[in-house]
Structure 1
Amino acid sequence: MISGMWLHGFSQFTDSTHYRATYQSSGSINRTRDGNTYLLNNAFRFGVKKKDMLLNFNNSWIYGRQQDALTNNDFSTSLDFNLYQTPKFYYWGLANYNTSYSLKVNNQLLAGVGLAYNILDKENAYLNVSDGVLYDKSDLFLNDTTRDVYHTYRNSARLAFRFTIYKVITIESSTFLQNSFDYGYDYIIRSTNSLSFKLNPWLSLTTALAYNRQNRTNSENLLFTYGLTLEKYF
């Protein structure tokens, strides 16, 4: 997994709400005679809205094992902001740190700025496109013994949407394509998709499907999890 949780502008604040806290705990377990497989996914987000600015702090950790072998130990933390010029157009900036066992990322620091546009921005329908430039400083594993320490600039393009049906069912997606300006084979894909059923105003049952690829290390993961999401506006 990795930071696929960069959802600039997704928070549905109102004039009377200025803070948003979200905690998600999900996973999957498979037990057979041949061994056990499990995957645990925990994420915490906190957002602050002040006038024409939105600030988000996101953290996620995924841990998984299959028949006593480690498959995932992936951590991501990020701080991002939006500066709104109009209700539809805004500037964004972020700083993001990742480490991922499954994607062979020992350390990765991403920082950059860009522009975004809300094609739809309603209570029950949100559609957004964005683009920008990121600086990437990475320490990767090309294989079990070879380290690759380098830096590059990337174009970061994203498509994101969120649709709510009858205020109960929410479909949400965010997909990034991040190409290096220096190396054609060096690209990153991050896609996070979720389906949530609201049980009460602050609790939802959530299933999520995430796909991540780090092409420079020729590694990828596909994660399906289910669990609970707690969300509070105040």
Structure 2
Amino acid sequence: MKRIVTLTVAMLYCLCSFAQFSDSTHYLIKYASTGSINHTQDGNSYLLNNNFGFKVSKRKVSLNAGASYIYGKQNTSLTNNDVSAAVDFNLYTDTAKIYYWGLANYDRSYSLKINSRFQGGLGIGYDLIRLPNAVLNVTDGLLFENSNLFLHDTIQDIYSTVRNSFRLQYKWTIRNIVVLEGGNYFQQSLTHGDDYIIRCVNSMSVKLRSWLSVTASLTYNKLNRTERENLLVNYGVTLEKFF
């Protein structure tokens, strides 16, 4: 919890500093609440997924901060109690399609058996497509990771590693109504060949207003070191304000 508070304070400090860059700075606030509920005579289950994002951008620099909380139960058994907080930046070069990125992320996950995990690193990105209604890019870089995990539910595993982090990201807006977007990651340890992370977050939103959308999302996580994975299919609403 101390790490979450520290990372949140760092986010707010960076955001306040960045907001003073120039009059051309733009802001985006985004909140999504999705979930699922199942009630039958044989039992009950539910899952709630809350995500908050804040973005500050200008012509050559952008800064993103985000946090998520997932909680779920099946009958009386806990299935998800997952928290994540991250801050990242993109620095664009005079070569329009190339940019540099940096990332700091902290998370813990009941479903993936992560007691705590910190990742921080740098890398490079390339825009394959950048149009007003369509973006497709790839990024690659190195991440330092410090983790506290549970192996086979009972064996505590505290270790550090360096990972290569590859990401494919896209966003496609159709007639300013339908938005398809996602980020898909593969993070391989450079020191352990059987230690890798897969994370895929993809969603479709239909705008009802400029600030309100109905959203369906699919999230998949696999952490090979703990031999755990989860698949979340949610639906709900997204609120966003650009100014």
Asked if Structure 1 and Structure 2 have the same fold, meaning a TM-score greater than 0.5 normalized by the shorter chain, the answer is: yes
Give me the whole-angstrom Cα distance separating, in 2, the residues matched to 1:173 and 1:118.
Answer: 15
Which residue among 113, 133, 150 is the counterpart of 1:141?
A: 150
In structure 2, the gaps of 5 or more residues are 1-22
What letter corresponds to residue 189 of structure 2 in structure 1? S
Residue of structure 2 in register with 1:81 after alignment: 89
Which residue in the other structure is 1:210 paired with? 219
**Which of 167, 171, 175 matches 1:162?**
171
Q: Which runs of 5+ in 1 are unaligned?
A: 1-14
The CA deviation at 1:16 is: 6.1
Counterpart CA distance in 2 for 1:20 and 1:87 is: 22
TM-score, normalization by structure 2: 0.89
The alignment partner of 1:196 has SS state of strand
1: CA distance, partners of 2:225 / 2:112: 10
Aligned-partner Cα distance in 1 for 2:197–2:154: 22
CA RMSD between the two structures: 1.1
Which position in structure 2 is the counterpart of 1:72?
80
Q: Between Structure 1 and Structure 2, how many residues are aligned?
A: 220
Deviations 1:21-78 (A, max 9, x none): 0000010000011111000000100011134110011000000000110000000000
2: CA distance between counterparts of 1:172 and 1:22?
Answer: 14
The answer as to 2:161 corresponding to 1:152 is: yes
Name the CA distance, whole Å, in 2 between partners of 1:155 and 1:142: 22
Which ranges of 4 or more aligned residues in structure 1 deviate by more than 6 Å? none
Residue 7 of structure 1 is matched in structure 2 by none
Greater mean deviation of Cα atoms: 211-220 or 156-165: 156-165
Relative to its length, the structure with more helix (as a share) is: 2
Partner of 1:105: 114
Matching residue of 2:49: 41
Question: Could you tell me how far apart the structure 1 residues matched to 2:72 and 2:208 are?
Answer: 28
- Percent same amino acid among aligned pairs? 55
Distance 1:165 1:205, change over 3 A: same
| Partner SS, residue 216 of structure 1 | coil
Secondary structure of the residue aligned to 2:111 is coil
CA contact under 8 A between 1:17 and 1:233: conserved in structure 2? no
> What secondary structure sits across from 2:193 in the alignment?
coil
Q: Aligned partners of 2:25, 2:35: CA distance in 1, in Å? A: 30
Output one character per residue of 1:126-164: Cα deviation in whole Å (capped at 9) or x when no partner: 100000000010000002221000000000001111111
- One of 214, 221, 229 as aligned partner of 1:220: 229
Asked whether the equivalents of residues 121 and 127 of structure 1 are also in contact (C-alpha less than 8 Å), the reply is yes
Q: Is the 8 A contact 2:127 2:135 kept in 1?
A: yes
Query: Are 1:56 and 2:64 matched, yes or no?
Result: yes
Q: What is the aligned partner in structure 2 of residue 190 from structure 1?
A: 199
Letter in 2 for 1:130: T
2:182 matched residue in structure 1: 173
Output the CA distance in 2 between the equivalents of 1:208 and 1:127.
Answer: 19
Task: Output the amino acid matched with 1:162.
Answer: K
The residue that corresponds to 2:239 in the other structure is 230
- 1:116 counterpart = 2:125: yes
Q: Give CA-to-partner distance per residue, 1:160-187, whole Å, 9 cap, x none.
A: 1111111101111210000000101100
